[in-house]
Structure 1
Amino acid sequence: MSWSRPELGDWSSPAELTQLQRAELPRVIAQAMRSPFYAARYDGRAVPRDAEDFAGIELTTKQDLRDQYPFGMLAVDRQKLATYHESSGTAGDPTASYYTDDDWADLAERYARKWVGITPSDTFLVRTPYGLVITAHLAQAAGRLRGATIVPGDARSLATPLPRMIRVMRALDVSLTWCNPTEIMMLAAAAKAAGLRPDQDFPALRAMFTAAEPLTEVRRRRLSEIWGGIPIVEEYGSTETGTIAGQCPNGALHLWADRAIFEVFDPETGELSQSGRGQLVVTPLYREAMPLLRYNLADDVEVSDDGCSCGWLLPTVRVLGRSGTGYPVGAATVTQQRLEELVFSLPGSYEVMFWRAMAHPDVLRLEFEAPDESRDQAVKELAGLIDRELGVPHRITGLPLGTLVPREALTAQRDILKARYLFGEGEDWDKAVMYA
């Protein structure tokens, strides 16, 4: 089936946006009932049919998806599928996701809603895994939709080490990249290890797209500063849903509420609302292969209906991470988000990028890398920030560069071997068959 999907500007008020969502719900619910999971859930019960019934639909959970692995959520014939994916498995058991060609049209359009634009003149380095997760395929589809040249840089691959990516970025005049925030820092460190200046020696680079990690505003500003002030454009999504929010020119993340219905679930009360703080619940409006009704992503978010001066008539979202990410230290609870804000509040001249922390019940241990000339001052200032902002016992240690991220990771280019079976005398035949 082929649907007419809305574009930004097709509604002029929140009320029109709500009406757009409600008009799609009968079709969305009917498609969901074609899957074994939803058909079984409503077997012998009144089947919801429209927007009036939507409030009574129970949540779909990640455990539901795990229990239905691999094809219990499938609502079309398998011959219609274009791609199959699985989550990164951070919680253990995989969740399956699958998409038709029509689904992919929606996915690519949503990703391509970048305020900086993706154009045919762009060379776009995709630096996320091309494995079972959706991230690299999503960027490639959106880039091709807009006519960009794609450089499939992959990630976590022996074939594309960091030094090779730095060479590619300069040789090909890469103008856009797609990777997680940590990879943005790794690329910068690799550039420095090669004797280059990230803020000056990549003149074609005009923006870096990022996702997959909660990103505080202070860290985003620091990443931009490291790369010469270019925009760091964030988005938010999952393998199960594709892109569900994108950043506007003002830096706010807006939910694509014309392509999905979003609700906020309070796990303590069981109540759902349109805004506020809780877990994000998603109902995609243009999903053919794997419809999801009130799918609880279990991400902690804060959704607001307050207007944004960018002019996009869409709710905004702050992604706070997954439940249970805070740890008690003394009388306080310490979160990664708050520590990140403090670490990247240090002056950029201190060149602090890589850090780690461990929360013990009686003390917070935090370590970071810094050059010799700024390390002691950085320790002193970060200790003061933690005293003032968190008030917890702490032990801060400054480490030499290369301690947390070994220099070899930034400079090494391992040989990539193809499978080989015949060797000459004196050659290393222990490498037979094996390749990597």
Structure 2
Amino acid sequence: MTFWNEELETMPADKLKEMQFRLLQNEIKTMYGKSAFFRKRMDSVGLKPEDITDMEQFRKIPCMKKTDLRDNYPDGLFVVPYDDLVRVHVSSGTTGKPTVAGYTQKDIDNWTESLARGMTSFGAGKKDVMQNMHGYGLFTGGLGVHYAGERIGATVIPTGVGNTDRQIQLMQDLPVTFLAGTPSYMFHIADVCDQKGIDIRRDTKVRKALCGGEPWSESMRKKLYDRTGIKAYSCYGASEFYGPMFLECSEQAGMHVWADLALVEILDKDGNPVPDGEQGEVVVTMLQKEAFPLIRYKIGDISSITWEKCKCGRTHPRLGRITGRADDMIVVRGINVFPSQVESVIGEMPFLAPFYHITLTNPNYMDKMVVDVEILPECLPDMTDQLDRMTQQVVDRMKEILNLKVVVKINLPNTLERCDGKSKHVTDNRSWD
């Protein structure tokens, strides 16, 4: 068994929890002094940093939510000047406003360290040639995985997302052993290889993959392996943390949450902690974050966590597979989408009524998002080409706001379903079985 930092990764759980709580106390003290936002949060419940002497006191701190990031857009939560930042990433937000995450050099180093430990835990290393098919740019996946691949000594090919024919050519022509990308793109690669008569087992050296950014199931993982011989490992994260951070090891029994970098709580609907191994909402506290506070952050995912020692020998807690959401966010091709974003686009269009419906499917595991909208009676066009221009206007604006290409269908007036109570705007017909 190979470790990146064996002493730390196999530290006895009681010692690990002691270290974790010391780091927590230090982070709270630091952010209370630097962050007006966090100081106001603690003051609102009568807490000072010295009051946080156990987890019961810690849980009195109000949780952060995505709305806090939106309300402080773009950089109201930053606690260091831009002179001390080395990078800024931007991801989709709840109402068209993106989430902006700043990083100090230490933040980047900790992010890279986290992924380096995770990659090492499933056997990646210096002998690997990694083709990184995550997007490079404002989203966090591409650069995070790239830096970690270099850190473990792998050779990194920064192909980015798309250009599938070129991706497959490089997989054949170069000694690529390791892919990184979304699960759906792995299946797309497999589909195109089948069409071209390319056998990934026979014609490439690819045998493992790091997959994340969107939901997928165990049966999906098995199908990928049966088709391609690629053993895929899950990862979990968000730009609010650092980016993708927590990976499965060779045992594939949950994603290791490095206890020196993050504290994860699992809470029930009333905000109380659930027993080890039971499902609840994921709440994350970053323990060494410098650029802005992330303390008791409700990310909205549903999962479980266990401190049971992993068969790989690592003692850090393991986060189970994400099984759902506590809010209305959906993930489409690795991108966070909120119905309120779609609503905001519709509100900008003077020819549309305020009714819509989103339908999600995933033929061959590639997500497809269809948005049905409704035209106002007084705006019915006389010519088909006018309707086409209206449709394209909505498609283009959706892409600007969502960073995602969707199919838009403009329906006749009074044809979309109305609801007496809370509208159901999303039908998710995707299957990962």
Asked if TM exceeds 0.5, the reply is: yes
The answer to whether residue 319 in structure 2 is matched with residue 320 in structure 1 is no
Q: Which residue of 1 aligns with 2:15?
A: 16
SS of structure 2 residue aligned to 1:200: helix
Distance 2:287 2:160 in 1: 30
SS of structure 1 residue aligned to 2:323: strand
Which one of the candidate residues 127, 131, 149 is aligned to 1:143?
149
The answer to whether residue 179 in structure 2 is matched with residue 201 in structure 1 is no
Distance 1:198 1:284 in 2: 39
Distance 2:369 2:86 in 1: 42
The answer to whether residue 231 in structure 2 is matched with residue 227 in structure 1 is no
Distance 2:185 2:153 in 1: 25
Contact (CA 8 Å) 1:234, 1:247: kept in 2 or not?
A: yes
Correspondence 1:29-40 to 2 at 5 A: 29-33=28-32, 34-40=34-40
Contact (CA 8 Å) 1:124, 1:150: kept in 2 or not?
A: yes
Distance 1:78 1:238 in 2: 21
Q: Which residue of 2 aligns with 1:27?
A: 26
Distance 1:39 1:130 in 2: 35
Q: Which residue of 2 aligns with 1:418?
A: none
% identity of equivalent residues: 29
Q: Which residue of 2 aligns with 1:295?
A: 297
Correspondence 1:25-424 to 2 at 5 A: 25-33=24-32, 34-42=34-42, 45-49=46-50, 50-52=52-54, 53-89=57-93, 92-112=96-116, 113-114=118-119, 115-155=121-161, 160-202=162-204, 204-228=205-229, 230-241=230-241, 242-253=243-254, 254-267=256-269, 269-273=270-274, 275=276, 276-318=278-320, 319-323=322-326
Distance 1:8 1:61 in 2: 35
Q: Shift in Å at residue 272 of structure 1?
A: 2.9
Cα 1:74/1:185, change in 2 over 3 Å: same
Q: Which residue of 1 aligns with 2:379?
A: none
Distance 1:80 1:274 in 2: 40
Distance 1:302 1:357 in 2: 29
Distance 1:266 1:109 in 2: 31
Structure 1: unaligned runs, 5 residues or longer:
1-5, 327-342, 345-350, 359-395, 397-436
Contact (CA 8 Å) 1:301, 1:320: kept in 2 or not?
A: yes
Q: Shift in Å at residue 42 of structure 1?
A: 4.1
Cα 1:352/1:43, change in 2 over 3 Å: closer
Distance 1:176 1:90 in 2: 34
Distance 2:210 2:138 in 1: 20
Q: Which residue of 2 aligns with 1:403?
A: none
Cα 1:61/1:325, change in 2 over 3 Å: closer
Q: Shift in Å at residue 252 of structure 1?
A: 1.2
Q: Shift in Å at residue 161 of structure 1?
A: 1.0
Distance 1:281 1:247 in 2: 19
Cα 1:117/1:88, change in 2 over 3 Å: farther
Contact (CA 8 Å) 1:48, 1:57: kept in 2 or not?
A: no
Q: Shift in Å at residue 131 of structure 1?
A: 2.6
Q: Shift in Å at residue 116 of structure 1?
A: 3.1
Cα 1:67/1:357, change in 2 over 3 Å: closer
Q: Shift in Å at residue 293 of structure 1?
A: 0.8
Q: Which has the higher helix share?
A: 2
Distance 1:130 1:209 in 2: 16
Distance 2:365 2:82 in 1: 46
Structure 2: unaligned runs, 5 residues or longer:
330-360, 371-428
Distance 1:56 1:132 in 2: 34
SS of structure 1 residue aligned to 2:301: strand
Distance 2:324 2:95 in 1: 14
Q: Shift in Å at residue 240 of structure 1?
A: 1.1
Cα 1:154/1:185, change in 2 over 3 Å: same
The number of equivalent residue pairs is: 326
For residues 316-364 of structure 1, give each alpha carbon's deviation from its aligned partner in whole angstroms, at most 9, with x where no partner exists. Answer: 22211323689xxxxxxxxxxxxxxxx99xxxxxx96668899xxxxxx
Cα 1:40/1:55, change in 2 over 3 Å: closer
SS of structure 2 residue aligned to 1:199: helix
2:219 corresponds to which letter in structure 1? V
2:103 corresponds to which letter in structure 1? Y
2:208 corresponds to which letter in structure 1? A
Contact (CA 8 Å) 1:66, 1:96: kept in 2 or not?
A: no
SS of structure 1 residue aligned to 2:201: coil
Contact (CA 8 Å) 2:73, 2:97: kept in 1 or not?
A: no
Distance 1:356 1:95 in 2: 24
Q: Shift in Å at residue 177 of structure 1?
A: 1.2
Distance 1:245 1:234 in 2: 8
TM-score by length of 2: 0.69
For residues 206-249 of structure 1, give each alpha carbon's deviation from its aligned partner in whole angstroms, at most 9, with x where no partner exists. Answer: 31111112222121111122222x32111111111133422122
SS of structure 2 residue aligned to 1:272: coil
Distance 1:82 1:246 in 2: 25
